[in-house]
A and B are shown apart, each in its own frame.
Chain A
Amino acid sequence: MAALDETEVREGVDRETVETVASMAGKYKHGWETDIEMEFAPKGLNEDIVRLISEKNGEPQWLTDWRLEAYRRWQKMEEPEWAMLNIPPVDYQNQYYYAKPKSMVDKPQSLDDVDPKLLETYAKLGIPLKEQMILAGVEGADGEMGEGRKVAVDAVFDSVSLGTTFKEELARAGVIFCSISEAVREHPELVKKYLGSVVPQSDNFFAALNSAVFSDGSFVYVPPGVRCPMELSTYFRINAENTGQFERTLIICDREAYVSYLEGCTAPKRETHQLHAAVVEIVVLEDAEVKYSTVQNWYPGDEEGRGGIYNFVTKRADCREDRAKVMWTQVETGSAITWKYPSCILRGNDTQGEFYSIAITNNWQQADTGTKMIHLGRNSKSRIVSKGISAGHAQNTYRGLVSMHPKAKNSRNYTQCDSLLIGDQCGAHTVPYIEVKNTSSRVEHEATTSKVDDDQLFYCRSRGMDEEEAVALVVNGFCKEVLQALPMEFAMEAQALVAISLEGSVG
C-alpha cells in the first residue's frame, strides 16, 4: 500500500483521495468514536418520541401526523422473515431514536465556535479541509474554492445533518441540496408532494419504522433541464452508542435533468449491535437520469461476530415518466447484517434501470441483497450485475425480482449474478424471481458460483505477490464490471475496501 504514495495522481482525483485510500490499508479504519456531548431523546419508542422528533425538527403538523400514522401501522407489522438471515431479536425499546451533538443545538457562526471534536471527526474521516469547515456547520466558508473536483457533501452525524457544502453554487444552478429537515421548512410543497410517493409509509416493516422516526437525511431537487454541476454526496456517521440511525433521502430529478449522487457510511467499533434503517426515494421524470452510488462501510463486527451494524434499508427509484433512467451502484462491505434491495419501478415507456452490486461478507457477516426491476412501461430495459463474495463464516445471498407486466411489451432484462467463495465455512446463495407476463419481452438470467481460481492465484504468486494480495487482485478482477460503474471518487476507495474486507480470509 505504501506504493500508493508515489502513485501519480490521475486527472480528477484528489491527493486527499489517494491518501485516504492509502490510509485504509488495515483493518476497519473508522472504528473510533468521537467523545462528544450529545443530546438524546429518552430511550424507547412510542408516540411521544415520534412527536418529540417531529418537534425537534420544527416540522409542520401534516408531517407529524404522517409520522404517527406510519408508527401506528408499524406496530401492526411483523419483521420480515423471508431473507436468508439469522437475525437475533432486536429490542426496539432499547434504542435511542434521536441523538444530536450538544454543540449543534445553537448553530455555530464561526470556526471558533464549532466543537473541535466534530472537526476532528471529519478530519479523521478524510473529508478535505475546505469542505470540512462547512461540514462542521460554519456559515459562509464556501465562498472561495480552488479549482478541481467538486463534491457537495451533506454530513449526517447520528440523527442530524451538520451541514451541506457548495449550497450557493448549487443554488445558482437551481439545484436544491440540503438536509431533509431543512427541505421540510424551506420547500414544503416539494416534500409534501413526493415524500412517501415511492416508498409508502407501510411498504415494509423497516420502511414504516423509518417513516415514523426518521431524523434527518438529504434532499435533492434538480429542476428541469439542469445537469447538476457537481457530484452530490451524503456522508453518514453513527457515533453515539445504542442509537439507531434512520435517515431518509429524497431525490427528485425533474424533466431532462441529471444528477449523480454518492453515499458513504461508517460507524465506530462497538460490542453491541446498532440499528440502521434508512429509506431512499428517487423520483425520475421524463428524460431525466439519476446515478446513485453507495459505498456502505458500516462497522461489520469483529472476527467473532461481536457488534456491527444491522443495516435494513429500503431504496427505490421510480422512473415515473418516459425515457427516465436510473442507475444504482453499490459496494457493500460493512454491516453485520445487510437487508437491502435497491429497486427500479420502470413505469414510463422506454425507461431504463441498472443495478451494479458488489457485496462482500467476511467473518460472521450476513448479507441478503439484490434488486427488483419492475417493468410496467413498454420498451423498458434493465440490467443487473451482481457480484457476491463470501469468506470466513459469512453468508451472502443475492435475492432479486425481474417482473415484466403484461403491458410492458418489448421489454428487456439481462441479469448476471456471480458468487465467489473463499474458504469452506461460508455460503453463497442466489434467489432470483423471474416473472414474465407478456410474450414480446426478453429476459436473460445467468448465475455462477465458484471459488477463487487456483491458476490465477498461482500466476499472481509466481509474480511475487503474497497470498492476500493475490486474492485481493483476483477479487478486484472479479468485481471489475461493477467497480467501473462507480464514479471516480468512489472507485479507488471501493477497490481498497475490497482488499481490506477480505483480510484474514486466506491462509
Chain B
Amino acid sequence: MALRREVLLKARQEAASARLDALTLPAGGGWITRAREDALTRLRAMGLPTRRDEYWKFTDPAALVAPATDSAELLGEDPDGTVFDTIDRLKIVFVDGEFDADASDDLAAEGLEITRLAEAARHDLHWARDAYGLLEAEGQAPVERPLAALNTAFATDGVLIRATGKVSRPVALHYLRKDGNADAMVHHCIKLEPGSEMTLLESGAAAARFSQVLEVDVGDGARFNHVRTQGRDHERVSNSNLFARVGEGGVLKSFTLSANGALTRNEAFITLNGRDGVAHIAGAALGDGAFHHDDTVFITHAAPACESRQVYKKVLRGGATGVFQGKILVKQPAQLTDGYQISQALLLGGDDSQFLAKPELEIYADDVKCSHGSTTGEIDPEQLFYLRSRGMPEEEASALLVLAFVAEAIEEIENPDLAEDVRTHLAGWLDRHRG
C-alpha cells in the first residue's frame, strides 16, 4: 500500500512532467543556465502543486499548472486612466512578458544599476550571478513553492536592479498585453546595498497567464517600497512570488491592489535576518463575480527586535472567493519580536461569496508580542443606518463604508501621492461595481 505522501508526490511529479514537456529551457549560457538547471532540479524533486496539497487547500492550482493556458479577452483603455500616470517615474515596459526598449525610458539612472535579465546573462561577472534564484531556493522550505522554481528555470525576461544610493524617483514596471493567448513568465532581482533606498511600482494587464518572481535583497539600513496593482484583465490567471530578505535595520514595505481576475495567487516569503528589521505587507482585493483571489504570506523572524505587519482587506461580491493564508514564524533567537496580522473580508449581498482564511502563528521565542485577527461579515447595518440617517443614499453610504474598510490597507503605502493614486483607482472601481 503506497503511503498518502508518496501518492501525492507522484501526482505532483506527473503534473510537472506534463508541463515540462511543453517547455524548453531558454538559451543563455554561463551562470544563468546553471541557475536555471538548478531550479529545474528543484522543480523535478517537488513536482507541481495539486488541489490535494495542504498549501493549495483553498485555491485550485490547475489553471496555473496546466501545460497550456486558455486565452483571455483583451480589454481596451482603463476608464480611470493608467495608474501611476501622474507620478514622475522611470518607466520600463513589458509587452506580453517581453521587454520593450522603445516604449521604455532610458535605463540609466543615478543610484541605480538596471539590466535586462536577457542581457545580464551575457556578462559573466554580473552581480546577479550570485543572486538569481538564490532567495527563491531558500524560500522552498519549510513550504515548497514549485511554481516559483518553474519561473526561475523558464523566465525569459525581467530586470535586475541594484540600488546603491537613495533614489526617490520610482522605477515603474508596466506590463502590456497584445496577444490574447500570452503565457508569460518574468523574473526580477533587486538588490539594495546597505543604506540605499528605492521604490518599485508595478501595473498593467501582463498576460493571459502570468507568472512572476520578484527577489529582493534589502541590505542593512536599506529601504524598499513596493506598490503594485493588478486589475481589469478579468480573465487572467496569475501567480506571483515575492521572496525577500531584510538585513539589520532594513525596511520593506509592499502593497498590492487587486481587482477581479479569474485566478490570482500572490505569495510572499519574507525573512527578517538582521536586528531591528521591518517588513510591512498589505493588500486590498476586490472581486465582483466568479473571481478567485489568494494572498499567501509567510514571514520569518530570524533575528531579534524586528517588526512585521500583514494587513489584508478583501471586498467580495457576486460569488467571488477571497483566500488568505498568513503565517508568522518566530524563531528562537528572535526575542522582542513584534508581529501583527489582520485579514478581513467584507461580503456584500447577492450570490454567496466566500472567504477562506488560515492565519497562523508559530512561535519559539518567549519575549514576543504577536497577534492576529480575522473577521468576516457584511457591512455593519448600524453604520449604514447612521449614514442614511444623515441623508446619504444607501448606495453612496455603502460605497463610503467599503472605501473606509479598505483604507487601513492603503494606509500602509508610505508615499502619500502613491496612496492617493491607488485610492482614486479603487474609488473608480467601486463606482462601476455598485449595487
Contact = CB atoms under 8 A, between A and B. Distances in A.
A352 interface: no
A449 B335 CA distance: 13
Interface string B353-390: 11111111111111111111111111000000000000
Contacts of B432: none
Contacts of A268: none
Contacts, number: 117
Contacts of B348: 439
Interface stretch (B1-9, B106-114, B170-178, B239-247): B1-9
Given A428-B363, A450-B368, A443 B374 contact: yes
A424 interface: yes
A431 B369 CA distance: 17
Nearest to A78: B4
A454 to B, nearest CB: 9
A257 B220 CA distance: 66
Given A429-B362, A431-B358, A451-B368, A445 B375 contact: yes
Given A424-B332, A448-B371, A434 B363 contact: no
Given A424-B367, A451-B367, A443 B378 contact: no
A439 B368 contact: no
Contacts of A438: 347, 352
Interface string A432-455: 111111111111111111110000
Contacts of A450: 368-370
A430 B335 CA distance: 18
Contacts of A365: none
A436 B361 contact: no
Contact of B354 (A78, A81, A436): A436
Interface residues of B, number: 40
Interface stretch (A329-337, A415-423, A487-495): A415-423
B366 A445 contact: no
Given A429-B361, A449-B371, A450-B369, 14 more contacts: A76-B1, A78-B4, A426-B366, A427-B362, A430-B361, A432-B358, A434-B356, A434-B374, A435-B357, A438-B352, A439-B348, A442-B375, A444-B375, A451-B367
B85 interface: no
Contacts of A428: 361, 363
B323 to A, nearest CB: 10
Nearest to B367: A451
B345 interface: yes
Q: Which of B355, B367, B376 is most buried by chain A, counting CB atoms within 10 A of its CB?
A: B376
Contacts of B102: none
28 contacts: A78-B3, A82-B54, A406-B352, A419-B363, A421-B363, A422-B366, A423-B366, A424-B335, A424-B367, A426-B364, A427-B364, A428-B361, A430-B372, A435-B58, A435-B354, A438-B347, A439-B348, A439-B378, A442-B378, A445-B372, A445-B374, A447-B361, A449-B361, A449-B369, A449-B371, A450-B369, A451-B366, A451-B368
Identify the 6 closest CB pairs spanning chains A and B, nearest first.
Answer: A421-B366, A439-B347, A442-B377, A434-B357, A430-B361, A445-B374
Interface in A97-141: none
Contacts of B345: 436
B359 A439 contact: no
Nearest to B364: A427
Contacts of A444: 373-377
B1 to A, nearest CB: 7
Contacts of B347: 436, 438-439
Contact of A427 (B1, B363, B371, B375): B363
Contacts of A441: 376-377
Nearest to B346: A439
B349 interface: yes
A429 B372 CA distance: 12
Nearest to B344: A444
A451 B330 CA distance: 14
B370 A448 contact: yes
Contacts of A439: 347-350, 352-353, 378
Nearest to A427: B364
A434 B357 CA distance: 5
A138 B360 CA distance: 52
Contacts of B359: 430, 432, 434, 445, 447
B289 to A, nearest CB: 14
Interface in A308-331: none
Given A424-B332, A451-B368, A437 B363 contact: no
A450 B363 CA distance: 10
Contacts of A433: 357-358
Interface string B109-126: 000000000000000000
